[in-house]
Every structure is written in structure tokens, then in C-alpha cells.
Structure 1
Amino acid sequence: MALTTRPPVSPNRSGWRGLVLRLHFYAGLLVGPFILVATVTGVLYVLTPQLESFLYAEQLRVPPAGRELPLADQVRAALATDPSGDLVAVRPAPEPGATTRVLFDDGLGESEHRAVFVDPGTGAVKGSLVSYGTSGVLPFRTTIDQLHRNLLLGEPGRLYSELAASWLWVVALGGLALWIARWRTRRASVRDLVRAEPGATGRRRIVGVHGSLGTWLLLGALFLSATGLTWSAYAGENVSALRASLGWSTPSLEADGHAGHGGGAAGEHDVAPAQLDSARFDPAQFDTVLAAARAAGIDATQIEIAMPAEPGAAWTVTEIKRSWPTEVDAVAIDAGTGAVVDQVRFADYPLVAKLARWGIDAHMGVLFGVANQVVLVAFGLGMITLIVLGYRMWWLRRPTRGRGWRLVPRGRLRSAARPAAVVAVLLAVGLGWFAPLLGISLLAFLVVDVVLGRLAARRSRSVRSANRP
């Protein structure tokens, strides 16, 4: 990768614009593939709910029944299949024509359960599948989810998605700053910010489409970057710690019989169901607990009834409807007395916790149903186009064409006013600490830039020495 010596920079490429252009170039070129993969897999995930309903219709749908069996009978039907794991929870059929899910801890992966699907009208078992997470997605959708989250590489693979989320907002804001600077230089109208330059051709037209499309996609990029970081391994921990320190954490149930709310991860209730002593367990307790929860105001159609983590602890009933309006209230029930020992109401969440819940659900495409899916797919297609255009712009000025990287000269940070330079360095350090992968990759960019600069300077000296008489 060679850098060529360029003429003095024109005023419109001086100062901070040069620094932002340099950062936007490196981030777009080197992090762009990670953002592209995250975008493509994200679009695939958004399209999966309808596919899942089609693929697993035999397990998910049954003829509507006029009257449902007690949960106890449905649980007994699932237990009769002789599952290898412990019974941990039940998700009653949310609507006529849907099946009940009886969940077992089958020694599977983290957040995975074996779901046995039972016809609530007849008690017939319709099959079993692995269910993942609070959303209860099934194998096909789980695979796409893990592909988006970690490329099916487990925890190490999560670094790719965190790197993409960490840089997406930087690239987006940097691109906006460059586009506004170009707009001001041309003294164009405000309308030209969101449309390509009329009459432009060649690379100039590509730049115009890239800039205007990036402006249209800016808010979506910032939103997906922020919500994506809440799931990340390192920045996500810092987000959770910050929310906890400010009292913005999502309230969680205390299911050990002692009332009180503690901090929890966004959108999850800290309950770890486990098998009760089989000698003391009566499936009829599911009906008792459900009746007590309904009396306590748990009125959503989509709920999960989880067994206690240990003998003597409370059962939990949690609303799991993530579409608008959000229903995620939860109560802890003493199965012996039917008393509510603790409760968490979404209405009582701190505002930031509510925004986090809505943000995550919108990121997944479930908050507003099909409309949410359409918006995310449109955004994803726009992002794919934007990234491809960015690489096309670079390709037209690639080093093999003898024109170098076409970057602005170095030294912009050193030439800036000292207070501004100090602020820039402190800001970079702070962001690097909060989002470690952003900081590490930024440092790597700087090292690469310095090495390329040294090589270019050495090459320039060699050329001058060879041309001396």
C-alpha cells in the first residue's frame, strides 16, 4: 500500500476536515467488511419470523379448540414423552390454534431449552424442538441469530459484531461531517444534502449518491449502533455498569420469598428455574400459580410460568410480549398460599430502562411487527448499497492506478490549536476505554498510518537522492 506525495491541500481540505477524512477512510476501508456482514445477517434475521412460522407449522399450529385442558394435563402429556432433562417452565398457548410449550433443561447450550409442543385442546404432543432465549426462537431462527451475533464462532465471534457496532456511529457521523463540508464548499441548498448532485458523472456522481444516501440512513445507523452495543461483550458491560450506577437498570424479581428489586440486564428477569423435588411436585401447581398471577394483574396472552430455583422459593410468571404495547410485567408467587411475594411492573421501569427495552425490540424487528421489519430491511439494503459505493469510490483511486491513496497530508492533529488537540485526544481515550474494541482498532489504524507514512517518506528520500546530479 503506497502513499504518494500530493500538492498542498486546498483550504476546503484543511484542518479538521482532513483528520475526519483520514479516519473515515481507514474505518470505512478496514471495518467496512464487518459492518457489511452484520448488515446482511441482520436483514436475514429480520425476515425469519414468517419463515419460522412456515417451517415449524406442525409444532406451532393446531386446530382451534373450544375448551383448553388444564395446564396440569398438558404438562403431564409432555412429561409422558420421557424427556431427558428437568422441567423448568411452561408457556401456555397464547391464542386459539397455537400450542403450549413445556420447557425442559436438556443440558443444551446457554439460554437453550428443549420445548415440547402440546395441543392445549387434546393434550396431544406435536413434537419437540430446541428453543432459545426469552423470545423462544426455534432452530432455524436461532442459527441466523447466532450468525448475526457471532458468525457461529461462539464468544470469540462476538468481537466481529462489537467491532461493527463500535465503528458504525463513528463512520456515520464522520461521513455526515464530510458531506456537510462538501455541501458548504459548493454553496448548495439544504435540499442537496439528501440528494445526489444533479448532472454529475463518474466518481463525482458516486460520491454524491454515497453522501446523500448516508444522510438518509444516519439516524438508523446511530440507533442500531447504540442498541447493538448493549449486547456486546465489553462495551455492553460498561453500558450496564453505567446504568446501574445511575439507577437506570431494569428491575428484576426477587423469587426467594423476600420482596425487593435489584439491578438486572436489560429486558431480563433474574430467575433461574430448576426442577422441584419430584416427590413434592404436583403439575396442578401450574394452574394454581397461573390463577394467582392473573388475579395479580398479569393479563398478557404471552407469558412464561417458571418453576422455583430451589425448594421454598417462589414461582415466577412473566409477560413476554415484546411488540407494541410492550407487556413485560412479572410476579413471584408462593405456590402454597397463592400470595404475591414480589412484582415488577413495566410502568415502574426507569425511563432509560423502558427506552432500552423498546430499543432492543425495535433492533430485532419485533416492536412494531411487519412495519418494523420493512423499515429494517429497507435500511439494511441501503447500508449494503452505501458500503459497496464506498469501496467503488476507493477502487477508482486505488494505488495500482498510480495515484496513491489520495489521502490528505498528515499532521492535522499537530497543526490544530492545542486546546482542540487535547480535547480530541482525551475524547479518543475516553471512547476507547468505554468501547475497548473501538480504542484498540483506532490505535491499530494510527500504527498503520504511521508505518505507511514512514515508508512513503523513505521512498521520497530515495527518489530525491537518485535524482541528484
Structure 2
Amino acid sequence: MSSTQEHAPRDDREEAVAEAARPAVVPTPQGTGPSRPGRSWSAVRALLVRLHFYAGVFVAPFLLVAALTGLAYTLTPQLDRLVYGDQLTVAKAGGEPRPLAEQIAAARKAHPEGTLASVITPPGPEDTTRVVLSLPELDEKQRTVFVDPYTAEVKGDLITWFGSTPLTTWLDDLHRNLHLGETGRMYSELAASWLWVIVAGGLVLWLGRARGQRARSARGVLLPDRSARGVRRTRGWHAATGVWIAVGLLALSATGLTWSHYAGDRFGQLLDAAKGHAPELETALPGGTAPAEGEHAGHAGHGAGQGAASTDPADFDAVLAVARDAGLGGRVELTPPADAESAWTVAQDDALWPVHYDQVAVDAAKGEVTSESRWADYPVLAKLSKLGVQAHMGLLFGIVNQILLALIALGLICVIVWGYRMWWQRRPTRDDRTAAVGKAPARGTWRQVPLPVLIVGVPLVAALGWALPLLGITLLAFLVVDVVIGLCLRPRRA
């Protein structure tokens, strides 16, 4: 996003960009020896130009893949309805729903295999009830049987993963790890680790550019200069679009890092230190010895134990009635106890705003709530983490959330394409000097950075490298390669 002269020919513009990125040199009197570079705040901008350039060139492909796969994932609710509409929806909505016991009996008659893990009530009048079965051969996946709540007719079954359909699971794996397992997760973590750096650097460069009166107006920041031509025009679209989607990109970077592999571990340590985890629901019955269940215990069959195998389907209706009396409305998931000393778990799963994530533990024999975990009692960090993940997945505001994510993904794709186009437009085109792309910003600018910036910046970068390991490792690799290239070019320059 560095500035160029407005009316220079293309090859002169390329020279102007390279010259603007070169460190300032303080002249010395003749005969006193070679000139030495002086420290100035303009060197900070030159260093930022170089960082933004190289991060964009090498990390943008990862961001492009993340944007394309993320764009596909935002469409999963509609795709699920299109592909699995027969299982997810009823033929005719209306009337009084049948008891859960009757619906469970129909599901178990069609699929007697496995263990009854949980039952999920319909989120809307046109949706089916989900009876989740745990089978050892499916590992952490489950078989979900879809039942019409009004007729107790089995509409079909799917192999699900934490409640997600096969199509959503496939697109989720594509976005998270490109179907390459744990190794593939590094691609998405690398993209999320560098995304906020690229966005922040681009904002600083664009807002701090020297463009007269236009730079001081909101129009000059938010809209491209349509009268510009060549690389200036492309830069205007690149920067203005980046400004519009900057907040969304920063949010996606932060939320994506919270459940990444390496940075996610660091975030977990932060939650431990700040006591910012969600409160756990105590599922041990009074006088029992069963351990406390975590937030995800029992979700979609994970946590169903031997006690679930002998559960009476009629208990589901009794437990649901107790949970409704305790204030749990809307869609809920009912998970049988793991053993005789544990209580039932009933958890709300309403991601639409305002969200509902209350949980209660129910003693089915006594028909009373033994423990509860209310959304209002979550620590601030736990709330932000939960809401951030839901927003990242496009679930928090329903269709509005999906549209926002789609616009951000499309904007990021355009910004990346315009960034590479700028690199190509800045190439020299003279007959005696041609190249496929423009010259990179000048090396060695860090030597002219003011000492206070280095004193504060170096420890800060080291801390960021610890908190975001992939960012630290790749940045260190950039520096090593840069030093090696500099050493190789030194004899030629001499």
C-alpha cells in the first residue's frame, strides 16, 4: 500500500515505489568516509511496507484457500436442507407432538443397534426429532435417526459428527485441515496467525499515507479514487475493501486461533490463569461419587455410558418436563446418565441471538433438578469465546451471520487478487529492464528504526511468537532467509 508518484510512467512508478521503501541516508561531508544511515520514524513505515509485502506474497495463498473453503462452509444450512431435506424436515407441520418415548421406540425399532446416547428436540415446528445412537465402530461419530414428532414416523438416518450432517462435516474438515488430519490443521492456523498482522499493517499503511486532503477525509479512506489509473487504482480498491472488512477479518483471526492446535493451547492456558472457563455442570447425584461433567459432556452421544443402555424411554418425557419447568425452552439435548450415580443432563443449544446455553442436571427418580449451569454465570472470557466460535461458524445471528461471513470471504478474495495484481503492475517494462513482477521493498530498513521502537518491539514480537507459535516460527524463517539472501548479494553489491 505504499505511495507512488501519480503521473509517472509505469517503469518510473516502479522505481518510485522502490525508492520510497529505501531507508533514508544522512549525507556526510566529503572526505569523512562513507555515509551512514540515520534513524527516523519513516524507517518504521518502510519496515512495515516490507513486512506487509512479504506476508502478503507468501501467506496470501493460505488465506485464499481459507476464504474459499470458509465461503463454502457458510452455505451449509441451506445445503443441508437441499440435500437432506427429507430427513431434517417433516412433511406436514402442526398438531401436538407425540411423546418422546413413542418417537424413541420408533427409532429403536428401525435401528436396534448401538446405545441410545441422546435425544435432541426439534428447533422449529417443521423440524424432526433427532435420536442419537452411539456405535463402537463409528468411533467419535454417531448414527442419528430423524423422527417426525407429529407421527413418530422415521424419516431416515445419517452418520453425524457432533450433530453435523455428512456434508457439513466434510466441508468443516475441508476448511479446518483440507482433509489432511492434524498436519493439515497447520494451514488454517498459519493463515489465522498472519491474518491479523497483514490486516493491521495494511490499515496503518493506508491510514498513514501521504495523500493531502484526501487522506484526511472519510471518503478517502473508505472509497477508492476512481480517477486513478494503473497501480494506484488497484491499490485504492485493495485498500478500501480491506478497510471495510478489517473488523470482520480481525474477529475471524482471533476466533480461529482459539481452537487451533498450538495457539489454542496458549489460549487455554490464558483461560486457566484467568479462571475464564465455562462453569462445569455437576452431574453426580447427591451422595454419589460420579465425577463432574464438562461443557461438552454428553453432546451427541459423547459421554453416554453403560447406564444409557438400560434407560427407560419414558424417562425422557419426565426429564424434559422437569427441564422445561426449570426454564429451558427451545431446542434441548437430553443425555441419559452415564451410571446409576449420575444425573441426566439437559442442555440448551440455541445459537440464535439472544443465545440460550443453560444446562441442568436432573434426578429422574425424584423429578428434580440437582445442579444447574446458567449462561448468565459464564465468565466474560468464556462468553466471548463461545460467542466468537458461534459467529465464526455462521450460527450466531442465523442468515444475517451467514451473509456477513460470505461478504467478508468474498472481500478477502478480492483483496488478495488485487494485491497480486499490484505486484504484477509494478514490474519494470523497459526494453533493457524487464521482470515478471515488481521489485520487493528495500532490505535493511530495521537499521534505521528508532531505538525506542526496537527496545519495545523486539520483546513484543518475541512474546507474540510464543503466544502464536506458527507466527513466530515462520517470521523467524523469513528473517533467516532474508539474512542469507543479504549475505549472498553483498559481494555483488561490493
Instruction: Give the aligned partner of residue 406 of structure 1.
Output: 439
Structure 1's 427 and 258: CA in aligned 2 closer, same or farther, altered over 3 A?
A: farther
* Equivalent residues in 2 for 1:22-171, closer than 5 Å: 22-62=50-90, 63-107=92-136, 111-133=140-162, 136-171=163-198
In structure 2, give the amino acid aligned to 1:310.
Answer: D
Q: Is structure 2 residue 321 aligned with structure 1 residue 291?
A: yes
Q: Is the 8 A contact 1:90 1:305 kept in 2?
A: yes
- Mapped partners of 1:15, 1:264: distance in 2: 51
Distance apart, 1:367 and its partner CA: 1.4
Query: Bigger shift: 277-286 or 364-373?
Result: 277-286
- Mapped partners of 1:144, 1:321: distance in 2: 22
Q: Is structure 2 residue 248 aligned with structure 1 residue 206?
A: no
Q: Is the 8 A contact 2:282 2:293 kept in 1?
A: no
Equivalent residue of 2:353, what SS? coil
Distance apart, 1:214 and its partner CA: 1.3
- Mapped partners of 1:116, 1:224: distance in 2: 34
Distance apart, 1:376 and its partner CA: 1.3
Q: Is the 8 A contact 1:61 1:97 kept in 2?
A: yes
Structure 1's 107 and 326: CA in aligned 2 closer, same or farther, altered over 3 A?
A: same
Which among 487, 490, 493 is matched to residue 454 of structure 1? 487
* Equivalent residues in 2 for 1:281-430, closer than 5 Å: 281-299=311-329, 301-397=330-426, 401-402=434-435, 406-430=439-463
Instruction: Give the aligned partner of residue 304 of structure 2.
Output: 274
Equivalent residue of 2:160, what SS? strand
Q: Is the 8 A contact 1:304 1:317 kept in 2?
A: yes
Instruction: Give the aligned partner of residue 188 of structure 1.
Output: 215
- Mapped partners of 2:298, 2:473: distance in 1: 33
- Mapped partners of 1:32, 1:443: distance in 2: 18
Equivalent residue of 2:253, what SS? helix
Instruction: Give the aligned partner of residue 475 of structure 2.
Output: 442
Structure 1's 367 and 58: CA in aligned 2 closer, same or farther, altered over 3 A?
A: same
Instruction: Give the aligned partner of residue 225 of structure 2.
Output: 197
- Segments of 5+ residues of structure 1 without an aligned counterpart are 462-469
Distance apart, 1:409 and its partner CA: 2.8
Deviations 1:301-322 (A, max 9, x none): 2110012223321110000010
In structure 2, give the amino acid aligned to 1:288.
Answer: A
Instruction: Give the aligned partner of residue 221 of structure 1.
Output: 249
- Mapped partners of 1:263, 1:446: distance in 2: 46
Instruction: Give the aligned partner of residue 29 of structure 2.
Output: none
Distance apart, 1:334 and its partner CA: 1.4
Structure 1's 219 and 111: CA in aligned 2 closer, same or farther, altered over 3 A?
A: farther
Equivalent residue of 1:238, what SS? helix
Q: Is the 8 A contact 2:190 2:470 kept in 1?
A: yes
Distance apart, 1:393 and its partner CA: 1.3
Q: Is the 8 A contact 1:250 1:263 kept in 2?
A: no
- Mapped partners of 2:464, 2:452: distance in 1: 18
In structure 2, give the amino acid aligned to 1:415.
Answer: Q
- Segments of 5+ residues of structure 2 without an aligned counterpart are 1-14, 25-39
Deviations 1:180-202 (A, max 9, x none): 23245786332211222342111
- Mapped partners of 1:452, 1:398: distance in 2: 21
- Mapped partners of 1:332, 1:33: distance in 2: 47
- Mapped partners of 2:278, 2:232: distance in 1: 49
Instruction: Give the aligned partner of residue 16 of structure 1.
Output: 44
Query: Bigger shift: 273-282 or 360-369?
Result: 273-282
Instruction: Give the aligned partner of residue 433 of structure 1.
Output: 466
Distance apart, 1:147 and its partner CA: 0.7
Which among 230, 249, 272 is matched to residue 244 of structure 1? 272
In structure 1, give the amino acid aligned to 2:267.
Answer: V
- Mapped partners of 1:258, 1:449: distance in 2: 64
- Mapped partners of 1:389, 1:70: distance in 2: 58
TM-score by length of 1: 0.89
Distance apart, 1:439 and its partner CA: 0.6
Query: Bigger shift: 253-262 or 332-341?
Result: 253-262
Q: Is the 8 A contact 1:306 1:316 kept in 2?
A: yes
Q: Is the 8 A contact 1:250 1:349 kept in 2?
A: yes
